[in-house]
Amino acid sequence: MPIEPADPVQRAFLNVEQSASGQRWVSRLDQAGQNRALAIAQVHGLPDIVARVLAGRDVPVDGAMEFLDPTIRNLMPDPLTLTDCVSAAERIAGAIQRRERVAIFGDYDVDGAASSALLFRFLRHFGVTAEIYIPDRIFEGYGPNPAAINQLIDRGAQLIVTVDCGSTSHDSLAAAQARGIDVVVIDHHQLAQPYPPCVALVNPNRDDDLSGQGHLCAAGVVYLVLVATARLMREAKDTRAYTLDLLSWLDIVALATVCDVVPLKGLNRAYVVKGLLAARHMGNAGLAALFKKAGLGGPVTAYHFGFLIGPRINAGGRIGDAALGSRLLTIEHAEEAEVIAARLDELNRERQAMEAVMLEEAEAEVMAEYGDGEDANVIVTARENWHPGIAGLLASRLKERYRRPAFAIAFDPSGKGTGSGRSISGFDMGRMVRAAVEEGILAKGGGHAMAAGLTVERGNLGRLRAFFEERAARGVPQLVAAHTLKVDGAIGASGATVDLIDQLEAAGPYGAGHPQPVLALPSHRIRDSRMVGTAHVKITLESMDGARLDGIAFRAIGTPLGDLLMNGRGRNVHVAGSLSADFWQGTRRVQLRVLDAAPAP
């Protein structure tokens, strides 16, 4: 859960001052929030729990109904408000009209694959020959490189469009410029002037962009550029523009929006809500094949995008063929899609096995370097035998385990380290990494507030650890000390029903910036607990009226939370978590995802 400043006056929820996970439980709603929830329920006739969820996420009373039904029409800005969008749309439209050969240079993650697939599908609709190029994570690294740019030009590219990358690729774009080839950059990563040489740089996070769309992922930005380009094609009386159905591609945009963990606010909410509707029609052969392979049960949700589809698409870029994901999302034939989906599923299983081994090694290194980690402000782990494609996942696991910004760095035999970092809410990791680049400690680095990538020489690892520790000391201790779990309300096991879940889903989808509701179950007895999988704890809770509810705490084995649950059979505990409905043999069953627990008096 996000780390947020505690209110020193607010009473602890259920008097839990320190839970098994070391958190203080507090109500998400203060008195003003409770008043707002009451007003939302009364004015709009909404269930109390939905009103509490909306109020707890700062939705105003007069904006509640619009929030519950976000629409593309109401939330999409004029694409031309994005700086350089006019130039980008005109150059892409010109390539269509002149039937130029276009090369699409994407990133190797889900956002990059989705962005590449969107542009490819658009160009294919207009009869343009396009090629997607996804760099190899290990041998080429992130973003365009001069060798790849020249290779694309040698193969006949007359226009290069970079998606989800390119904003800081000065040398690579200069290589294209030197050969007289135009480049359009469509991106969302943080950047600074001077900008690289290109025909257009569409990035809502550039400092001269006033669109207010900096929360979009790259696929969301690409979609806006395509809307602008389609408008130009209609103005040019191209009949193919009138048969273009951009709304049917929102499933791809929603996938990227969820998996890139961008805030679910504004246009992003409309992208996901409408994209889920599109996904449920299974119109994308690649997504349909991957859902089938992943064993989807029930209608597609944001959870399925984030935890079933995203990891499988990412697996190709992490340890296999980086282009598999984008290829899957462009396929129109079910048979071909099933072959690629099967390969991605296989790679994902391999990735899981490798990650388990690496995590064990990383935790041993943390113990050697930092002890229990309590005195560290940032965790930096590094090994020579690690797979660089899994470094980001490793950093995420370490961040969750130690509640601190964390990095995992994989060194090759030459001493070059490729690493990824994940941050805690309130600490800007991207800024810290860029500062290390400016200091000459890192060869390369950048990213967002919550995630970053870097390249470092082994000889600089000690300097890097010291630099990060000093920078993190300015903010991390206060964030860690204020570690709280915000609770939306309390229910009993008998109240955890499918109807309640339907009411909560009305205020969804949930994700970054719009967290899943957290409900507390006061003083329930642990009737049963056992380990499932490799590290999860499955429990059965029983309330005083005899009602029961199954729950699962993911990756809890070996943690204080896991110890409390495994050793607590027959004891009463307060449990906090999020409700979900699983489909089993055609029926929906309620399950609690356990986030935390504390002994009950």
Q: Is the pLDDT of residue 165 over 90?
A: yes
Residue with token string 């809502």 = 204
Give me the mean pLDDT over the 227-244 stretch: 97
- 543 vs 525, 531, 564, CA distance in Å? 6, 22, 18
pLDDT at 137 (0 to 100): 83
In tens, the pLDDT along 574-583 reads 999 999 987 7
Domain definitions of the chain by residue range: 13-56+488-599, 74-345, 371-481
Give me the mean pLDDT over the 451-459 stretch: 94
pLDDT at 450 (0 to 100): 85
Q: Is the pLDDT of residue 69 over 60?
A: yes
pLDDT confidence band for 4 (50 / 70 / 90): very low
Distance CA 557, CA 535 (A): 5
Domains 13-56+488-599 and 74-345 share a fold: no
Neighbours of 502 (CB within 10 A): 12
Instruction: Share the mean pLDDT of the chain.
Output: 94
In tens, the pLDDT along 260-269 reads 989 999 999 9
Q: Is the CATH number 3.40.50.10540 carried by domain 371-481?
A: no
pLDDT at 569 (0 to 100): 95
Give me the mean pLDDT over the 14-29 stretch: 94
Q: Is the pLDDT of residue 7 over 90?
A: no
pLDDT at 229 (0 to 100): 98
**Among the listed residues 273, 267, 279, 294, the one whose alpha carbon sits nearest the alpha carbon of residue 329:** 279
* Sequence letter at residue 409: I
* Sequence letter at residue 436: A
* Sequence letter at residue 152: L
Instruction: Please say whether the beta carbons of 340 and 286 come within 8 A.
Output: yes
Phi (first) and psi of residue 450, to 5 degrees = -100, -10
**Among the listed residues 462, 540, 583, 448, the one whose alpha carbon sits nearest the alpha carbon of residue 109:** 448
Whole-prediction pTM value?
Answer: 0.89
Give the rounded percent of residues in the chain with a pLDDT score beyond 90: 85
- Which is it for strands 548-553 and 587-599: parallel, antiparallel or unpaired? parallel
225-227-232-236 Cα dihedral, nearest 10 degrees: 140
3-class SS at 133? Answer: strand
In tens, the pLDDT along 469-484 reads 999 999 999 988 878 9
Distance CA 128, CA 306 (A): 32
In tens, the pLDDT along 387-440 reads 999 999 999 999 998 999 999 999 999 999 999 999 998 899 999 999 999 999
DSSP 515-541: PPP-EEEEEEEEEEEEEETTTEEEEEE
Distance CA 319, CA 311 (A): 12
- Helices marked H in 380-457 — which ranges? 391-402, 429-438
Q: Is the CATH number 3.40.50.720 carried by domain 74-345?
A: no
In tens, the pLDDT along 545-556 reads 999 999 999 999
pLDDT confidence band for 9 (50 / 70 / 90): low
Tell me which fold the domain 13-56+488-599 belongs to: OB fold (Dihydrolipoamide Acetyltransferase, E2P) (2.40.50)
pLDDT at 24 (0 to 100): 93
